[in-house]
Amino acid sequence: RMTNLSCLVFDEADQLLDMGFRPDIERILALLNPSAQTRQTLLFSATIPPTVTEIAKIAMHPKYHFVDTVGKDSEQTHERVQQQVMISNQEDQVRSIMAILERETNNKPYKII
């Protein structure tokens, strides 16, 4: 058991579920669930289908707070948010990410999310 885990993050939760990882997610949560009261759990998803809501109910504290950063009447991505895609070999990923972070932090002011 990972009883000392203080933060659990599911990024692109809708995609994880679409790719068939639900049994794996449920297995992980079964190992961790007793610490749900003290653990910070973050779940990010571009869409909120019922499957994501179901996982949120299992993974999150009962009084979790839902934050909608887009809204129902908005574009999927704000027009001023620049998005980029990088394709990299697994062995080059850390080096590539570090190069991007260094480049972007030299462009002041900056925000990296």
DSSP 32-101: HGGGTTTSEEEE--SS--HHHHHHHHHHS-TT-----SS-TTS-SS-TT---------GGGHHHHHHHHH
Residue 4 has pLDDT above 70, yes or no: yes
Q: Which domain holds residue 37?
A: 7-59
pTM of the model: 0.56
pLDDT tens for each residue of 20-69: 999 999 988 888 866 556 788 888 888 888 999 888 888 888 888 888 77
Residue 113 in any domain: the answer is no
Residue 64 in any domain: the answer is no
Q: Domain count for the chain, please give it.
A: 1
